[in-house]
Amino acid sequence: MNLRQLAADLARFPWVPTAQMLRERFREDRLGLSASSLTFTTTIALVPFFTVALAIFTAFPMFGKLQANLQSWLVQSLVPDAISRQVLGYLTQFAGKASRLGGLGFAALIVSAIALVLTIDRTLNNIWRVRRPRPFGQRVLIYWAVITLGPVLLAVSLASTSYLASAGRGIFSALPHVVALLLNLLQFAALAAAYAALYRYVPNTPVRRAHAIAGGTFAAIGIEIAKRVLAWYIGTVPTYSMVYGAFATFPILLVWIYITWVIVLLGAVITAYLPSLLAGPRRRPAGHGWQFQLALEILGHLQTARPTARKGLSASELAAAMEVDALQLEPVLETLVQLDWIGRVNEVQDDDGTRYVLLADPRSTALEPLMQQLLVPREGATARLWQSGHLTALSLADVL
């Protein structure tokens, strides 16, 4: 019955709208540029992360025997097999040299590692249209705890797996293929859980667990497919090896890091927009002037809600009434708040805890500030339009 329900849910899932949404968001949010920035920052921060991991294992001698196995497993899980051995060798060599740096050099490495996590934080918050990220100190403390505790948790997990494998050696030796399948499934589940945690806890906004798991599963599947495709390409078309020789690992690693970040960002987009995708068809952006149109519709709905007991509406209620994605409303709502035309009323800490109420008097409020913000700025080329069209004489009541 569960399999039938799963098949029915997959059949009802809006695959075509999801693909269209991913294409639009990739272009409009410039995810390719964000992935390039993250690739550059990741390349610089690889050695600091590896150095921190080595320092942690040195501080915990009980994990010393598992250090090599954990490092090998981690690299092979995230990097295609064709270059994982070379990447692990280079990282170990670089981290060994970095450990001999002085205090100033080591501080520079740590700053580069923190720069990576802050870039990830900013990029994911932009996807969710979050305008107020967590305080800088709080972000640094959270991510530093992840950097330092992550290797220890991985070591504990690997130690438990090794103990179970040694305890059931007689059973596992008779079923080698089953063991390999189980280990691959555990590896896939661990990566999917890591991506789901990234999508759920990094954005400074509530994210449902089920949506984060869906996005994490998409990212894990995408990366597994990309690993196999890249490994096939490297084995079939040895262009990089012929051109770069022994140096071929580095450009291949850069390409792989970029592909990985593109997939991770697309998983974040799916997580962010999954509520609207599951809610059914939504109105698509209608070109220039779309945000101005949304602003007028928001003001109209808030004016209608003014005489009611609640005096206003939440962002999700506005999105449902206007049949648009809630994330499309975020920048428009922020603009109206900055103009002091609407205000926020915080009730409780949940998804619908913030109501928006109309503050401006439509009859005495000129439409000019909103038009300059979202439609036509009043500059040299458009000054005649404003003058001839008498746009400055329009009030908010004229268009509601």
Query: Is-contact 366 396, C-beta < 8 A?
Result: yes
- Residue 308 shares a structural domain with residue 269: no
- The answer to whether the beta carbons of residues 218 and 269 sit under 8 Å apart is no
Domain for residue 285, yes or no?
no
pLDDT (tens, 9 = 90+) of the chain, 400 residues, equals: 455 655 565 566 667 777 887 888 888 888 989 999 888 888 877 766 666 666 655 555 555 555 555 555 555 555 666 666 666 666 666 656 655 655 666 676 677 777 788 888 888 888 888 877 777 777 767 766 666 655 555 555 555 555 444 544 444 455 556 656 776 787 788 888 888 988 988 888 888 888 899 999 999 999 889 888 887 877 776 666 666 666 667 777 888 889 999 999 999 999 988 887 776 656 777 677 888 999 999 999 999 999 888 888 888 888 888 888 777 888 899 899 999 999 988 765 444 568 899 999 988 988 888 888 888 888 878 888 888 877 888 888 888 8
- Per-residue pLDDT at 263: 93
In this structure, is residue 284 part of a structural domain?
Answer: no
- Helices 176-201 and 103-127 pack at an angle, to 10 degrees, of 80
Helical pair 176-201 and 249-279, crossing angle rounded to 10 deg = 70
Q: Among 279, 299, 326, where does a domain finish?
A: 279
| CA-to-CA separations, 11 to 5, 6, 8, 134, 375, in angstroms, rounded | 10, 9, 5, 39, 41
CATH number at residue 320: 1.10.10.10
Q: Same domain for 295 and 210?
A: no
Answer yes or no: do 85 and 223 share one domain: yes
**What pLDDT was estimated at residue 1?**
41
Q: Which domain holds residue 302?
A: 290-399
Work out the burial of residue 340: count CB atoms within 10 Å of its CB; fewer than 13 is exposed, 13-18 middle, 19 or more buried.
Answer: exposed
Residues 12 and 151 in one domain: yes
Domain boundary among 252, 279, 306: 279
Same domain, 152 and 87: yes
Answer yes or no: is 265 within a domain.
yes
Q: Residues 245, 331: one domain? A: no
Residues 198 and 329 in one domain: no
| CA separation, residue 224 to residues 7, 150, 178, 251 (Å) | 22, 22, 19, 20
| pLDDT per position as a tens digit, 52-66 | 666 655 555 555 555
Q: Both 224 and 295 in a single domain?
A: no
User: Where a domain ends, among 250, 279, 308?
Assistant: 279
> What residues contact residue 273 under an 8 Å CB cut-off, 6+ apart?
21, 25, 325, 327
Q: Are 216 and 192 in contact (CB under 8 A)?
A: yes
The total domain count for the chain is 2
The answer to whether residue 389 sits within a structural domain is yes
Please report whether residue 132 resides in a domain.
Answer: yes
pLDDT number for residue 205: 81
